Structure 1
Amino acid sequence: MSTPKFRLEATWVDHGEEPAKMKLALTNLSGADLKNFRLSYTGLMRAKADVETQNATFVKRFANFHQFDPLDNVVVADGETWEFSITNLTGNAQHRMDGPKSGYVTLEDGTHVDVDTGDLQIEGRPSEFAGNLIPEGKLTDPISVVPWPNHVAVSDFDVPPVVLCAADGTSAEEKRAINAVAALAKRLKYELPDRLRLTDVPGGRKLTLVHNAVLASEAYELSFAKAEVVLTYGDKAGLNYGLITLSHMMDGAKAEPTKFKFPTSGEIKDAPRYEWRGSHLDVSRQFYPTDAVERFIDILAWNKLNKFHWHLSDDEGWRVEIKGYPNLTKDGAVMGEGHEMPAQLGAGHKSTGGFYTQEEIKELIIHGQALNVEIMPELDIPGHCNAVLAAYPELRDPDEPEDNYRSIQGYPNNAINPGIPATYKFIETVMEEISDLFPSKYIHVGGDEVDEESWLQSPAAQKVMNEERLNGTLQLQAHFLGKVQKTIRKKGKIVGGWDEVSHGGGIDKEGGTLLFAWQKPEVGLELAEQGYDVVMTPGQAYYLDMAQSPVWQEAGAFWAGYASPEKTYTYEAAGEFPDHLKGRLKGVQACIWSEHLITRQVFNHQVFPRLNAIAEAGWTEKENKDWPRFAAQCRLLPRL
C-alpha cells in the first residue's frame, strides 16, 4: 500500500454557547500544489439541509456521503493545510470515530485520490482513554469453559492429557462429530495442540460417548476419571456441545497451565437456558467475504450460539443473489464513483461492496448445520431499501416528490412503495427464492425505522390508504407487512421482524411470529403482552456497535448509551417478564451493526468479549453466572 498523498483530520468544537461545529483540515502531502479540487468524505455527523460552512462551499450530501469545494482561487501548497468548518449537523459527537471515516480528493483533471483520515479530536479539553475494560477476574474452579455449564462438580485437577481419544466402539456418526469439533478447534485456535483424536496415542485419555435419549437434544453430561472421560448426550447437538466443552477445557489447561487444569474426578451436567441463542451480523454497511462469514459461524458454534441472523440487505447494499432480479447485485451491491450509489461509511472512490452467490450461501448453510448453527436470513423491508431502489427505481411512485422525507440515517425516499403492483411481484419473487435457498423456518423482514412521513405524498400509496381505510404511514406499513406475511406463509415459513412490525396494528401473531426487541428492554415485555414471541436484543446491552465506555477515545455508537462488557454480561433479559409471559421469551441475541466496524481490528475490539458474554447469558442460568469468573476466562476465546 502506497503512502497516502492527503490526510484529513477533524476536531469537534462544542463550547455550549452556540451550535457545535466540526473543523476539518486537509493536508497536502502529494509533492505538488493542490488547486481546483473537491473533497468527498463519509461520516455519521451528517450535514443538515441548512448547513453553514466557513472557508468552503457545501456541494451535496447523500446520507453519510458529503462533498465540499474550497473557495475560489484556493491553492494548497505541498505540506500546507486547507482548513474549513461545518455548523448545523445531525448529531452531537461523543467518540473518536464520529468524524470522517474515509474520503478522497478529486483533482482538477478528474482523477480521484483517497485521503487518509484520523480520529475526531475534541477542542478545549484533553480527551480520555478508557483503558482496560476487562478486570483480571477470579476463578471459581480452575477450568476454562464459556459459556459456563449449569452444573459443575469437579475436583482433583491435573495437567491435561496429550489428547482425548475416541474409545473402541465409537460409532461412525460419533466419529464424524468428533472430527467436526476437532476441525473447528483447529480452525479457530491453530496455535494450540489437538484436543480430540479418533485413534489412540501414548499419553491420550479415553473418551467414551454414550447416547441417552432421555436427555434433551442439546443436553450433555461429562464424567471425569484419571483414565477416562465419559460424555453422555441427548442428540447430535448435545454431543457437539459436550465435545466443545472438553475442547475449551483442554485449550485453557494448555494455553495457561498455571491458571487452568483438567479435572480427573467429578461431573458436569449441562443444558441451555434458552432455545434461541443468537447473533446478528450486518453485512450491508460493510461487506464481509465468505471466509469471514464462515469463521464467524465457527465462533458462534464455539460459544454454543445456535442462531445466525444474517442481515443481508440495507440502504448501503443488497448482498444476496436473486436470479429473478439480477440488478440487485449488479447495481445494489456496489458503491463508489461511477455507480448508482456513492461511497458510504469507510468506502472511498473505488468500487466497494460485494454479494453472496446462491451457491456460496448453500455452502455456508451446510457449514452451519454441521455445527448446529441455523442461519436466518433478513431482507429489510419496506424501509432501508435505498440499494433496492438504486437497482430498481420502478419500485418508487413516479408521482411522489423526490426527497420529501429522509430516514433517520439520512436516506431520501428509501422505502419501497406499497401502492405499486410491481412491489408485490418483487416480494413474491424474492421470498420464493429466499425460501427455497434457506432451510430455516424463519424469514426476517426487518420492518424497522420507516420514516413517519413515508408515502404520505405518494398518490399510489394514498389510493391504497383510502381504499383500505388506513390512517397514516404506520397502518399502511402494517397492511403491507400483512401481505408479506401471507406470501411467506405460503412458502411454509414464519415471519421474524424488528419490534416496529407490531406498529400500526401489527401482523398476525399466530403460528409463532417472532419479533426482536431492540429499542429498549421494556419493549420486549410489551410485545409479549400483545401476544408475540420475543427475542431480546436491546441496544442498551446487546448492540455491540455501542461504545463500551462514555470516554471520548472509545470507538462506537452512542444513541443507546454505552455498554461495558460487565453491563452486557450482567443484563438479565428475563428480568421484567412475569411468570405467565416467560414462555413468550424465546431467547437472546447480539446485534452487530457495521457502521463503525470499518476494520477487522475495530470489529474485534467492539464485539469481543461482549459476544461471549451474551452467549453465556443465553446458555447459563442466572444463578450460575459470575462476572469475575467470566472475566478470568474470556481472553482465551477466539476472535474474527
Structure 2
Amino acid sequence: MDLIPAPRSVASYGDQYLAVGEDTGIAAGAGTEDTARWLRATLGAATGFSFDARREGDDLVRLTVDDTLPTEGYRLSVTPRGVDLRGGSPAGVFWGAQTLRQLLGPDAFRRAPLPGRVWRLPLTDIEDGPRFGWRGAMLDVARHFMPKDGVLRFIDLLAAHKLNVFHFHLSDDQGWRVEIKRHPKLTEDGSWRTRTKYGHRASELWEDKPHGGFYTQDDIREIVAYAHARHIAVVPEIDIPGHSQAAIHAYPELGNTDVVDTAALPVWDTWGVNPNVLAPTETVLRFYEGVFEEILELFPSTFIHVGGDECPKDQWKASPTAQARIAELGLKDEDELQSWFIRHFDTWLSERGRRLVGWDEILEGGLAPGATVSSWRGYEGGITAARAGHDVVMCPLQQVYLDYRQSDGPDEPVPIAYVRTLEDVYRFEPVPPQLTADEARHVLGTQANLWTEVTENAQRVDYQAFPRLCAFGEVAWSELPEPGERDYADFERRMTAHYRRLDALGVDYRRPGGPLPWQQRPGVLGRPLEGPPPNA
C-alpha cells in the first residue's frame, strides 16, 4: 500500500477491495465532525461523490472517537461491509483519514475528478500512532513573504504527512509580517524593504524592487482556524532581542540609540547576522509586552517562540545604557543580560498560561525556568537542556535544515551549506543516545526548519521541502522497527508511489535525478560548504 509515513502495523488481505461510489456515505460520531467535513471536501472534489451523512447500511465510512486508543493513535479497518475508522481523539481520527486518502490512490489528491476512474479501497486492518507529540515544520516568511494562500497550502501539505506543529517565523531583520494594532508602523514601515539580495550575501546580484507583505489579524485568525481544523498547532515566533532591525526601523527608540543612529536604519536588504539588536530598556520591555498581548489573542498555542538566537553583544558592550543595566541587575556580562531579557518574557508568558520556547542560545547566561529549547546548532543544546530538566524540540541544522543543498551537483539551485540528501534526512534520529530514559522524556519531538533567504517563492519552498519533508514526516511519526538504522530501501520504494501523490497535489518537488530546468538558478551565488556537516 506504500503508505508514508509508515504505520505501526498493517494487515492486508490479498487482492480484495471495497468499492467506493455514489452510494458511499460518511457517519460522523461525536467529535469527528471536522474530519467528516474535510473528507467530504477533499475526497468529494477528487471523486465527484457527495459522501452524504448516513447512519445505516454497509456502504459507510464510520468515524468514531474511541478513548481506549492512544490520543493521536487510530485503528482503520476496511472490510466488505465498509470502513471503520476509530481514533483516540478527534486528532487520531483525522490522521487515520489521511491514511484513508492515501489508500484510495494518487488521484484522491486531485481537486477535480478525472474521467473513467474506478475508486476502491484495499481490505486492510491498520493500527497506528505517532512516536512524538511535537512533529513540526518551520517556515520563515520574514526573509521572503509567503502570501496567505501559500501558507494555507503549506499547512495542507504538513497535514498530508501527519505533521502537527506549524512554526510560523513572523519577524526578522528583513521584515515584520503580523499586524499589531497598537504599533501600526511595524507593518506600515517594517513589512517591506526597498530591494533584496539575490543569492547568498556575497552575490553581486540584487532584485531592485520593493519586497514585502504582512498578514492582517483576520488573516492570522483564518490561518489558525484552518490549521486547527487539521489538528495542527500554529506556534508564532517573534524574534527578540536579535533579528530585530525591521522593528527598529519602524520604531527607532527600540534600538541602542546611544551607540548607533537607529533612525537611519532601513529594513535590512541582505542576509547574515545583524549587529542591530534591541536595547535592554523598560521601553523595549513594555513595547514587546504589548506585541505579545496581541499575539496571545491571535494564537491559542500553548507555546510562543521568542527566537533568542544570533544576538551579537557588541552594541551592548559599547552602550552606557546597557552597561548600566548590567550593573543595576548585578549581572556578570552581556550573556547574562540576554538571559535576563528572555527570563522576563518567560515569567510574563507563564503568568498568562503560556510557555516560552526559544533557540538554543537562550541557554547562554542561564536558562529561564520554564523555557523549552529548540536545539538547532546540533544535539548539544538539547542534551544540556534535557539533562537540566527542560523540554526540548530537536531540530539540528546538520540534519533537518531544509534550506541546505540537496546534492553537490553544479545544477543545484543557489547551493547553501552542506549536502543533506533525502536519505540523510530519513536517517536522522531525534533522540540523542547520550540521554538516559528519564532525560529522553524531555524530548517533546522534532522539527524541520526552512529558512527563505534564497527561497523566494512557493515554487522554491516546494523544491527545498520536498521530498525531504516526506522523509522527515516518517522520522517524526513512525516508531523505529528496532533500534538502529531505518530501512531506507523500503522508504525509497514507497516513495515511488508517493511521488505520484505529490504530482497530483501540484508540488514542485526535487526529482530523484536532480533539478528540472526551471528549478535551476544558473549564475546565482550560494554558499556551499565542503565535507560532512560537523556533528552530523
For the aligned pair, the TM-score class normalised by the smaller chain equals 0.7 to 0.9
Verify: 1:482 aligned to 2:343, yes or no: yes
- Give matches, 1:430-579, under 5 Å: 430-509=291-370, 513-559=371-417, 561-576=418-433, 577-579=435-437
Verify: 1:426 aligned to 2:287, yes or no: yes
Q: Which deviations, in whole Å up to 9, do the C-alpha atoms of 1:121-153 show, x marking residues without a partner?
A: xxxxxxxxxxxxxxxxxxxxxx13221111112
Distance 1:195 1:399, change over 3 A: same
Distance 1:533 1:175, change over 3 A: closer
Structure 2 letter corresponding to 1:565: L
The DSSP-based 3-state class of the residue aligned with 1:301 is helix
Structure 1 letter corresponding to 2:166: F
- Give matches, 1:194-593, under 5 Å: 197-198=51-52, 205-252=59-106, 264-336=122-194, 342-345=195-198, 348-401=207-260, 409-410=271-272, 413-418=275-280, 420-509=281-370, 513-559=371-417, 561-576=418-433, 577-593=435-451
Structure 2 letter corresponding to 1:369: H
For residue 481 of structure 1, report the CA deviation from its aligned partner: 0.9
Structure 2 letter corresponding to 1:148: A
Q: Which deviations, in whole Å up to 9, do the C-alpha atoms of 1:98-119 show, x marking residues without a partner?
A: xxxxxxxxxxxxxxxxxxxxxx
For residue 557 of structure 1, report the CA deviation from its aligned partner: 4.9
The DSSP-based 3-state class of the residue aligned with 1:280 is strand
The DSSP-based 3-state class of the residue aligned with 1:277 is strand
Distance 1:168 1:585, change over 3 A: closer
The DSSP-based 3-state class of the residue aligned with 1:591 is strand
Distance 1:225 1:449, change over 3 A: same
Structure 1 letter corresponding to 2:297: D
Larger strand proportion of the pair: 1
Cα distance in 2, alignment partners of residues 488 and 255 from structure 1: 40
CA RMSD of aligned residues (A): 2.8
Cα distance in 2, alignment partners of residues 252 and 298 from structure 1: 16
The DSSP-based 3-state class of the residue aligned with 2:278 is coil
The DSSP-based 3-state class of the residue aligned with 1:622 is coil
Distance 1:253 1:155, change over 3 A: farther
| 1:5 counterpart residue number | none
For residue 574 of structure 1, report the CA deviation from its aligned partner: 1.5
Distance 1:194 1:552, change over 3 A: same
TM-score normalized by the length of structure 2: 0.82
Cα distance in 1, alignment partners of residues 126 and 49 from structure 2: 18
Note if contact 2:254-2:278 (Cα within 8 Å) is conserved in structure 1.
yes
For residue 240 of structure 1, report the CA deviation from its aligned partner: 0.9
Distance 1:508 1:550, change over 3 A: same
Q: Which deviations, in whole Å up to 9, do the C-alpha atoms of 1:504-553 show, x marking residues without a partner?
A: 112114xxx22111111333222211222011111111110000112332
Distance 1:176 1:397, change over 3 A: closer
Structure 1 letter corresponding to 2:98: I
The DSSP-based 3-state class of the residue aligned with 2:449 is strand
Where structure 1 has 5 or more consecutive residues not aligned to the other structure, the ranges are: 1-142, 337-341
The DSSP-based 3-state class of the residue aligned with 2:75 is strand
Distance 1:455 1:175, change over 3 A: closer
Q: Which deviations, in whole Å up to 9, do the C-alpha atoms of 1:70-114 show, x marking residues without a partner?
A: xxxxxxxxxxxxxxxxxxxxxxxxxxxxxxxxxxxxxxxxxxxxx
Cα distance in 2, alignment partners of residues 169 and 611 from structure 1: 32
Cα distance in 2, alignment partners of residues 448 and 430 from structure 1: 19
Note if contact 1:157-1:262 (Cα within 8 Å) is conserved in structure 2.
no
Cα distance in 2, alignment partners of residues 169 and 312 from structure 1: 39
Cα distance in 1, alignment partners of residues 26 and 336 from structure 2: 64
Q: Which deviations, in whole Å up to 9, do the C-alpha atoms of 1:446-500 show, x marking residues without a partner?
A: 0001114241101100101112232332111001111122222232211010011
Flag the structure with larger Rg: 1
Cα distance in 2, alignment partners of residues 184 and 386 from structure 1: 42
Verify: 1:183 aligned to 2:44, yes or no: no
The DSSP-based 3-state class of the residue aligned with 1:614 is helix
Cα distance in 1, alignment partners of residues 272 and 427 from structure 2: 34
Cα distance in 1, alignment partners of residues 325 and 243 from structure 2: 21
Structure 1 letter corresponding to 2:62: T
Cα distance in 1, alignment partners of residues 340 and 109 from structure 2: 56
Cα distance in 2, alignment partners of residues 279 and 499 from structure 1: 17
Distance 1:224 1:410, change over 3 A: closer
Distance 1:343 1:447, change over 3 A: same
For residue 268 of structure 1, report the CA deviation from its aligned partner: 0.6
For residue 421 of structure 1, report the CA deviation from its aligned partner: 2.4
Note if contact 1:196-1:247 (Cα within 8 Å) is conserved in structure 2.
no
The DSSP-based 3-state class of the residue aligned with 1:400 is coil
Note if contact 2:237-2:304 (Cα within 8 Å) is conserved in structure 1.
yes
Note if contact 2:363-2:381 (Cα within 8 Å) is conserved in structure 1.
no
Note if contact 2:95-2:162 (Cα within 8 Å) is conserved in structure 1.
yes
Note if contact 1:158-1:261 (Cα within 8 Å) is conserved in structure 2.
no
For residue 194 of structure 1, report the CA deviation from its aligned partner: 5.4
For residue 282 of structure 1, report the CA deviation from its aligned partner: 0.2
Q: Which deviations, in whole Å up to 9, do the C-alpha atoms of 1:202-261 show, x marking residues without a partner?
A: xx95323343221122111012223322212222111111111101110248799xxx99
Structure 1 letter corresponding to 2:440: K
Cα distance in 2, alignment partners of residues 298 and 269 from structure 1: 23
Cα distance in 2, alignment partners of residues 196 and 619 from structure 1: 31
Distance 1:185 1:328, change over 3 A: farther
